Structure 1
């Protein structure tokens, strides 16, 4: 279905610019998409940087060919990355289209490489994406963090994990989920520490990072060094990072209680558990984790 959406849009683009190259990136390209995820497309061609005319020409053509729902298409030509946002008229799948964004395709390749290196990574990331989606925290503009930020902090978590078996194909995903929530909900120092995943990964002192920044600038609360563009802070727009930290912390508390050997003697209030945001997902994952809780150290 999603491939058909891409093909319909690509035909419109090729009709406008026959030599244009249309590529898929983002979660659909990497296989880390949820049923509600949008499709990210980038159009490569001889377009002048900063010229918004191609955006408006494509928007007009998509309307003309009735590829989009009439009221869904928007041109965001003043955004940091100018894009067209639309909803496919047949499937209601949402699509974002940008122009000449080379780093977007490189990021997709980077994600695929890390998926091969850490077999457990896709499972962990998909659970976390659904977790944030249920709380409207899967987008920066709603006070959450981007999928790319989430992926990078998950990579860092596995890179710097104290147990070697955490990265094996047989690692207990439920245990890793609890430990992820514990790290980023309780122990990670957002005020003083940044994240780097290049060269095996490490933590960065924000004081040291700031020394290399222009006067008046400082690392963001969720500072993540861009592995593809040194000097770029991937988390700079994540103004709601502390709200994300809070839901991670509460999820850690609820899941830890659920798998504790003495949990049955001190049950959590059922409504509180659902407010924690575990909902339908929590029941299943509590079972997965408790089935091998001894792996946790």
Structure 2
């Protein structure tokens, strides 16, 4: 207890002595000190070759004292400190007086050596002790007390600052490391190209049945979904989010990215009907021109025929009538409304695309979607009793969603409770009008992701609207890319999202004020606390800067998932279109492999090659896989229903 009291008194005296020395501007401590660049510099008074800056805690320098001046200055400091504690009480005054006498005696004992005196009185850090090794510790250093020569100021290099030679060595080692890394990547890419060109058929990672129709089975590489579902369930699980919870989530999100192979239906030989016209062409084309022409023909082939459009339109009308009829049973006709939105409303829907419907209350447009959850549960009970629909499932609480299938056409329906989606439809129409090649590129990459199960947001993929905005944002990065050929734009897109874009550091924005004449921009992710970023967002919102307010809101880098895609919605600046892209690592790795394979085929075409492994050259073979076989039975059923409708019949006859 006595030792603790003495120690506390030491600390109090040290603090008071610091205040005193600041007030006196250190003039009573040392006469051979100079104030240079914001700190005191002291030198040996014997003309030695070394001098140093003696620094202690608090950022103030303490001088090297001579024996006489040190005792005098210390006594004056003690006297000043004693006068500063008159109001501390009798007991504190007695303790301080006793400790002062002990410290003064200790200081005077070591007065011949100022370093030992300061160390005994105020203690010193280990680094400071090491820096004092070079100082002479004999009393001969301070023999001359009468006339003090002018100090010789010598600046000492900081111990933490490397020399120029060390910087050069570091730059050289970094350059060597980069060269080795590039050679390693080149070796890996060569192996990937070799494997991609030698495989005759697509080999899935795991065989899982994904569809069954008329005796045909399909197999897909959907093993990666198990990890994504586990991440999604972990985020939705109730309970406190402790450090252990965050550690488990980070471990789950640190999954290995894979090149996801496209679905390959069993028992069907791959067919590529869009290249028939290309084979008949006698025109001489380079590899990039050949790729662009194949993309154009593929986009024409994947479009809906008149019969398929008629079937989709009839199915949409039937579903809306069914939902409206059930809503009128337990609500007023003017309370709830059902609208078409998404790709079906914007004209980007493929024959096999889902039909997206939205249920909302037109009288209260800002009502939270969760208040319609009970309405969707009642609709689910009615649909379960309707023989025209099957595979009925419900998801979500904050944004309730009902999924089911229209049996006659085989089209999947998604009914969501959401806000007005007309601004997004307007953005899609404007982007497709101002960017000529956006539609064919969107159709190609949507099928590419759909064949791998990476287009469903529920499983961590990128939705149709998010994919369109992402492609437009990349194409609007540079004016030269926006006006390049179709093949060059496709190669740029797979390179940009496959390797160039670092989603852990940067995010993308395509504000409604930047296109079509402007360019998309990057903004950085931050590790600040979300509360701090929300504060900056409110500041930007207060000055009516909505795009910047949305960027501050979504720029937080998730510790568990820093690689998430961050993409600002042009229709709603506060909406992050990539916040649920949990499978983004698979998307990037897949696009990177596609880039390597397609660039290899472009070089083969440039060198005059026309065959790939003994077959006719199809540049999109590994990109979309056997999509014709996967979509065949769906399109045939839709085509049959549409032809009956065009003849004047109704669905189900």
Q: TM-score range by the shorter chain?
A: 0.7 to 0.9
Deviation at 1:154, TM superposition (A): 0.3
Could you say what secondary structure the match of 1:43 adopts? strand
Could you say what secondary structure the match of 1:73 adopts? strand
Could you say what secondary structure the match of 1:160 adopts? coil
Are positions 1:14 and 2:324 aligned together?
yes
Equivalent residue for 1:31, pick from 347, 350, 358: 347
Deviation at 1:101, TM superposition (A): 2.1
Deviation at 1:185, TM superposition (A): 1.0
Equivalent residue for 1:83, pick from 393, 401, 418: 401
State the distance in 2 between where 1:62 and 1:279 align: 35
TM-score for both structures, normalised by structure 2? 0.38
Are positions 1:117 and 2:430 aligned together?
no
Tell me what 1:252 maps to: 595
Are positions 1:223 and 2:562 aligned together?
no
Larger Rg computed on CA atoms: 2
Structure 2 residues without counterparts, runs of 5 or longer: 1-310, 515-519, 536-552, 628-653
TM-score for both structures, normalised by structure 1? 0.80
State the distance in 1 between where 2:501 and 2:456 align: 21
Are positions 1:2 and 2:312 aligned together?
yes
State the distance in 1 between where 2:566 and 2:587 align: 14
Deviation at 1:53, TM superposition (A): 1.7
Deviation at 1:150, TM superposition (A): 1.2
Deviation at 1:21, TM superposition (A): 2.7
Equivalent residue for 2:360, pick from 11, 36, 44: 44
Contact 1:194 1:204 in 2 (8 A): yes
State the distance in 1 between where 2:347 and 2:434 align: 15
State the distance in 1 between where 2:440 and 2:587 align: 20
Are positions 1:196 and 2:517 aligned together?
no
What are the residue-to-residue correspondences of 1:52-131 with 2, within 5 Å? Answer: 52-69=373-390, 72-78=391-397, 80-102=398-420, 104-131=421-448
Deviation at 1:30, TM superposition (A): 1.4
Distance 1:274-1:121 versus aligned 2 partners, 3 A rule = closer
Deviation at 1:91, TM superposition (A): 1.1
Deviation at 1:106, TM superposition (A): 2.3
State the distance in 1 between where 2:608 and 2:614 align: 12
Q: Report Cα offsets for 1:244-278 as digits up to 9, x if no partner.
A: 111111111111111112484997798xx999545
Which stretch of the first structure deviates more once superposed, 82-91 or 135-144?
135-144
Tell me what 1:181 maps to: 494
State the distance in 2 between where 1:275 and 1:123 align: 17
Q: Report Cα offsets for 1:131-160 as digits up to 9, x if no partner.
A: 111122112343432222211110111111
State the distance in 1 between where 2:389 and 2:431 align: 34
State the distance in 2 between where 1:74 and 1:275 align: 34
Distance 1:147-1:269 versus aligned 2 partners, 3 A rule = farther
Deviation at 1:188, TM superposition (A): 1.2
Contact 1:225 1:234 in 2 (8 A): yes
Which stretch of the first structure deviates more once superposed, 140-149 or 7-16?
140-149
Which stretch of the first structure deviates more once superposed, 41-50 or 134-143?
41-50
Equivalent residue for 1:233, pick from 567, 573, 576: 576
Contact 1:194 1:223 in 2 (8 A): yes
State the distance in 1 between where 2:614 and 2:589 align: 19
Distance 1:56-1:278 versus aligned 2 partners, 3 A rule = closer
Distance 1:177-1:217 versus aligned 2 partners, 3 A rule = closer
Deviation at 1:84, TM superposition (A): 0.9
Deviation at 1:115, TM superposition (A): 1.0
Structure 1 residues without counterparts, runs of 5 or longer: 282-297
Could you say what secondary structure the match of 1:163 adopts? helix
Contact 2:447 2:624 in 1 (8 A): no
Contact 1:77 1:83 in 2 (8 A): yes
State the distance in 2 between where 1:73 and 1:229 align: 31
Distance 1:53-1:160 versus aligned 2 partners, 3 A rule = same
Deviation at 1:67, TM superposition (A): 3.3
State the distance in 2 between where 1:268 and 1:237 align: 39
The count of aligned residue pairs is 271
Contact 1:226 1:232 in 2 (8 A): yes
Which stretch of the first structure deviates more once superposed, 54-63 or 172-181?
54-63
Deviation at 1:212, TM superposition (A): 2.5
Contact 1:144 1:241 in 2 (8 A): yes
